[in-house]
């Protein structure tokens, strides 16, 4: 179920956006695990795509900087905030740490 549009659709975006928010504010491990327990296990197809989907949430804020009254300043601010997170979540360290933190590799 896609909760953005309340219809049958990909659920990966919903899961990724929620985990992005949890990881960005530092409460990722405990709340992320509880969220996934309630939401249900990700499929074997979804698991490797999840870090990319999470990075996509950060990219959204970078890409929408142009809608701000001062787009250059907003772009610089968003790059400063989002770029380290994107690099981390897509790195081998981030990827493996992410899966361990959220217990996605559980049976």
Dihedral sign computed on CA atoms, order 14, 16, 18, 21 = negative
Asked if pLDDT for residue 74 goes beyond 90, the answer is yes
Q: Is 2 helix (H, G, I), strand (E, B) or coil?
A: strand
- pLDDT recorded at residue 107: 47
The mean pLDDT of the chain is 81
pLDDT band at 80 (very low <50, low <70, confident <90, very high): very high
Cα distance between residue 85 and residue 26, in whole Å: 12
What digits encode the pLDDT tens for the residues 86-106?
Answer: 998 898 887 666 666 665 555
Name the one residue in this structure whose structure tokens are 């179920």: 1
The whole-number average pLDDT for the span 11-29 is 81
Of the candidates 9, 88, 11, the residue with the CA atom closest to the CA atom of residue 42: 11
Contacts 24+ apart (CB under 8 A), 60-63: none
Report the C-alpha dihedral over residues 34, 38, 39, 45, rounded to 10 degrees.
70
Per-residue model confidence (pLDDT) at position 58: 93
Assess whether pLDDT exceeds 90 at residue 6. no
pTM given for the model: 0.78
The pLDDT of residue 8 is above 90: no
State the first-to-last Cα distance of the chain, in angstroms, to the nearest integer: 23
């Amino acid at each position: 179920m896609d909760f953005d549009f309340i219809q049958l659709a990909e659920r990966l975006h919903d899961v990724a956006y929620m985990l992005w928010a949890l990881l960005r504010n530092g409460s990722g491990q405990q709340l992320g695990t509880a969220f996934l327990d309630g939401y249900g296990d990700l499929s074997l197809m979804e698991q490797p795509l999840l870090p990319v989907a999470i990075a996509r949430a950060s990219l959204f804020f970078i890409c929408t900087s142009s809608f701000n009254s001062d787009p250059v300043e907003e772009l610089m601010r968003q790059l400063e905030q989002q770029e380290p997170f994107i690099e981390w979540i897509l790195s081998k360290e981030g990827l493996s740490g992410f899966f361990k933190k959220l217990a996605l590799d559980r049976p």
